[in-house]
Amino acid sequence: MARNHGSQRSNRNVIEATTGRNGSEESCISREELIRLLNEDLAREYQAIIAYVVYSQVLKGAEYMNIAKELETHASEELAHALTISKLIDYLGGVPTTQPKPVKISKDPAELLRFDLDNENETVRNYRQRVRESEARGEFAIAEHIREILMQEQEHQIDLATALGEEVPDMSDCRESE
């Protein structure tokens, strides 16, 4: 077990290699760090809600009508995610943030969809990490809630990539050799 038992006890939020509750050697973060990271995720959910509400209304043109309607659905799903993440933060003893991440705006519809896809990609990466961190702490119920959110976020990726005429980005940790 690698632990930092140096004189700086205040630096407890860093990731340490420990034996997790499931007996395997994993990266384990403090409860406070998990709360901080979940609050970042919550700020990103707020950002997504705002972006989807605005983008669904400002997308113009026949080619964007279907995705604009889908973005309205995404907005309500992101609100459900925000509520779930808020409950998890409260369960851990934290206070949910009230501040969203900044929302980008453009007059170019394709650019708006690109902003959304980029944000969804970041969200998927972060939630995958959050699942690992929660499991390392033995917080399996938290990991399961995040997995449920992750499934919807990946559906959002598919919707946005399809609207942009692109393949869904490869977000896996494993890269295939060429």
pLDDT tens, residue order, the chain (178 aa): 333 333 333 333 433 434 444 444 456 999 999 999 999 999 999 999 999 999 999 999 899 999 999 999 999 999 999 999 999 999 999 999 999 999 999 999 999 999 999 999 999 999 999 999 999 999 999 999 999 999 999 999 999 999 999 999 888 776 665 5
Query: What does the block give as tokens for 45?
Result: 């959910």
The Cα–Cα gap between 83 and 93 comes to 15
Q: How does DSSP classify residue 138?
A: T
Stated pTM of the model: 0.83
Q: Choose among 94, 116, 121, 100: nearest CA to 46.
A: 100
Contact 122, 128 (CB under 8 A): no
The Cα–Cα gap between 26 and 137 comes to 9
